[in-house]
Chain A
Amino acid sequence: MGGLGSPVATYLACAGVGKLTLVDFDRVDLSNLNRQILHWEEDVGSHKVLSAGRKLRELNHETEIEPLAVRLDSDNADGLLRGIDLAIDCLDTMESRFILNSACFRQRIPFIHGGVTGMWGEVATFLPGKTCCLECAFNRGTKDKGPIPVFGPTAGTVASLQAMEAIKFISGVGRLLTDRMLYLNGEEMEFFSVVIHRKAGCDICTLEETTVPTP
C-alpha cells in the first residue's frame, strides 16, 4: 500500500468495487508521505494495510476491506491469490513482481503491472492464457537496484492508469493495455508504448492452470 497501491485502492473503493484485499507487510514511514496518500502524519509507525483500510472504509463503507500485513513470497503467493478476480501489481521489487507473475499465470488471474522510477512510469495489463506475461518483457534475472526515487505525482499518474485498467476490466468497457507497455516520461511530458510479443518458449505463459485448493 505504497505510492501505487494508495491511489489505486482509493479509486477502486470510490468506484464501488465490492472487496479489496490489501497485501503489504510494511509500516508507514515519514519518507512515504510524499506519494502514499492514504497515510498521514498520524499514521507513521502503523501497518500500512491498517492505515489504508481505515481511510478506505470511510470513503466507501460498502467496500469490504481485507488487510493482510504479510510479505508476498513464493511460498504464500498462491494462497494470497486464492479467490481473487484481478491482481494489481503495486509492488516495489522485481523479485516480488516475478513471483506475482508466475502465480497469476498459474491461477489464470489477470493482473495489471505498474512501475515507477523518478519521473518515469510504466503500465501493462496481462491476461493469462491470452497475452504475453511480465517475463516476456523483463529478464527474470533483473536485480533490484536499491532505493528508488519516486516523484509523488508520477506514482499518482501511473496508479490512476492502473485503476482505469482495473475498472475497464471489471466493467468490460474499452480496450485493455495488453501486449503493450505504456510509458510515461514525466520529464518531457510524453507517453509512448512498446509492443511486446510473447517470448518464444516462455515457461510462464505456458504454465498449466493450477487450482489452489481451499484449506
Chain B
Amino acid sequence: MKILLDSNLMIKNVFEPPLEWHFEGDSISLRTLLQKVKERCASLKILQDGEEGDDVRNILINGKDYFLIGRLDAILNDRDRVALEIYLDPLGGG
C-alpha cells in the first residue's frame, strides 16, 4: 500500500513533500506514518513520546481533520492522502 504525504512546509534535502510512503499490508495507523516521518526528519517535532509534537499544527486525512477520525490511531488505507501542517520555531530576537 502507499500513502501520499503533503505539507505546508518543505526543507530542501531534508523534508520535501509530496512524498510517497510504501508499507506492507492493507493499512497502518497515522502514528506509524508519523514515526516514519520523524525518522526521516528528526529536526521537526512531529511525534514526541508517541503523541503529536509541538511543531504539528494540524493533520488532514483525505481533507478531514484527524481529530475527528481517531487522532493518531486513525487508520490509513492504500492511496490515502495525509496533509501535515507544521509550524516553525521562531527566532524571536531583533
State whether A2 touches B94 (Cβ < 8 A).
yes
State whether A92 touches B92 (Cβ < 8 A).
yes
State whether A90 touches B94 (Cβ < 8 A).
yes
Q: Is A52's beta carbon under 8 Å from chain B?
A: no
Instruction: Bin chain B's interface residue count.
Output: 10 to 19
Q: Is A195's beta carbon under 8 Å from chain B?
A: yes
State whether A115 touches B91 (Cβ < 8 A).
yes
Bound-state Cα–Cα, A89 to B92, Å = 11
Mark interface residues in B3-46 (1 if CB within 8 Å of A CB, else 0). Answer: 00001111110000000000000000000000000000000000
CB distance from B20 to the nearest CB of A (A): 18
State whether B94 touches A94 (Cβ < 8 A).
no
Q: Is B85's beta carbon under 8 Å from chain A?
A: yes
Residue of A nearest to B8 (CB): A197
Q: Count A-B pairs with CB separation below 8 Å.
A: 78
How many residues of chain A are within 8 Å of chain B by beta carbon?
Answer: 39
Residues of the B chain whose Cβ atoms lie less than 8 Å from the Cβ of A91: 94
Residues of the B chain whose Cβ atoms lie less than 8 Å from the Cβ of A5: 94
Residues of the A chain whose Cβ atoms lie less than 8 Å from the Cβ of B9: 137, 194-197
Residues of the A chain whose Cβ atoms lie less than 8 Å from the Cβ of B91: 115-117, 120-122, 148
Residue of A nearest to B55 (CB): A139
Residues of the B chain whose Cβ atoms lie less than 8 Å from the Cβ of A94: 90, 92
State whether A137 touches B87 (Cβ < 8 A).
yes
Bound-state Cα–Cα, A116 to B8, Å = 23
Mark interface residues in A171-203 (1 if CB within 8 Å of B CB, else 0). Answer: 000000000010000000000111111111000
Q: Is A63's beta carbon under 8 Å from chain B?
A: no
State whether A139 touches B87 (Cβ < 8 A).
yes
Q: A194-B10, A195-B9 are in contact. Are A116 and B90 (CB under 8 A)?
A: no
Q: Is B79's beta carbon under 8 Å from chain A?
A: no
Residues of the B chain whose Cβ atoms lie less than 8 Å from the Cβ of A192: 11-12
Which listed residue (A117, A136, A137) contacts B93, Cβ 8 A? A117
Could you list which residues of chain A lie within 8 angstroms of chain B, going by C-beta atoms?
2-5, 89-94, 97, 114-117, 120-122, 136-139, 142, 144-145, 148-150, 155, 181, 192-200
Could you list which residues of chain B lie within 8 angstroms of chain A, going by C-beta atoms?
7-12, 57-58, 60, 83, 85, 87-88, 90-94
A-B contact pairs, 24 of them (CB 8 A): A3-B93, A3-B94, A4-B94, A5-B94, A91-B94, A114-B94, A115-B94, A116-B93, A120-B91, A138-B87, A138-B88, A144-B92, A148-B92, A149-B93, A192-B11, A194-B9, A194-B10, A194-B11, A195-B11, A197-B8, A199-B8, A199-B57, A199-B85, A200-B85
3 closest A-B pairs by beta carbon, nearest first, are A148-B93, A92-B94, A195-B10
